[in-house]
Amino acid sequence: MARIFIGAGSNQDREKHIRAGLLSLKNVFHDLRVSTVYENKAIGFEGDNFYNFVIGCHTDLELDQVISQLHRIEDENGRDRNQPRYSPRTLDLDLLLYDDVIIENAHVQLPRHDINEYAFVLRPLAEIAGDLRHPVSGKTYSQLWAGFDQSKQELRPVELETGA
């Protein structure tokens, strides 16, 4: 059984899509562990603030099947794939880690580079998987977060009942 981590976010009807997305994830994956939800400004475009968090879970699915399931859940929540990369999202589900798999091609990037680039990914990942090691750098996610320049990307914890 693979251990996976998923970065999740929404800036359109945030609470509705986060709850619906989590319910769908619970129906596909096992032993969900959900980080704190954080609010942050949109990056790369002008738009409403995002709610972002990370989910850790287990799965019997192969990598391509996990990605297909994440896309299906996004689509069920109104994801418009014709929008530019940096645009509003009803629900965005990004596979961050699949065990310690390292792969980069036109379709998949693992571990996802967002881990090292965005506070809204690294902070919640360090929260729920702080002792695990990044498969490339070998540093723990707690170490990566401690070394991250937190002054440029403000995060605000949000009290949101996720039901997890």
> How does DSSP assign 101-128, residue by residue?
--EESSS-EES-THHHH-HHHHHHHHHH
Q: What is the pLDDT of residue 164?
A: 56
Within 10 angstroms of residue 61's Cβ, the number of other Cβ atoms is 17
Least confident of 61-70, 79-88, 132-141, 146-155: 79-88
Q: What is the pLDDT of residue 53?
A: 97
Q: Which tens digits make up the pLDDT trace of 43-68?
A: 888 889 999 999 999 999 999 999 99
Instruction: Flag whether 51 is in a domain.
Output: yes
Averaged over 94-121, what is the pLDDT?
96
What is the rounded distance in angstroms from the CA atom of residue 156 to the CA atom of residue 159? Answer: 10
Instruction: Flag whether 37 is in a domain.
Output: yes
Instruction: Flag whether 164 is in a domain.
Output: no
| Residue percentage of the chain with pLDDT more than 70 | 98
Write the CATH number for 154.
3.30.70.560
pTM: predicted TM-score of the whole model, two decimal places? 0.94
Instruction: Flag whether 117 is in a domain.
Output: yes
Burial class (CB in 10 A: 0-12, 13-18, 19+), 60: exposed
The residue range of the domain holding 123 is 2-158
Q: What is the pLDDT of residue 103?
A: 96
User: In what helix (H) or strand (E) does residue 95 lie, and over which residues does it extend?
Assistant: strand 92-98
Q: What is the pLDDT of residue 163?
A: 60
Instruction: Flag whether 82 is in a domain.
Output: yes
Instruction: Flag whether 33 is in a domain.
Output: yes
How many domains, the chain? 1
Instruction: Flag whether 49 is in a domain.
Output: yes
- More reliable by pLDDT, 119 or 161: 119
Instruction: Flag whether 78 is in a domain.
Output: yes
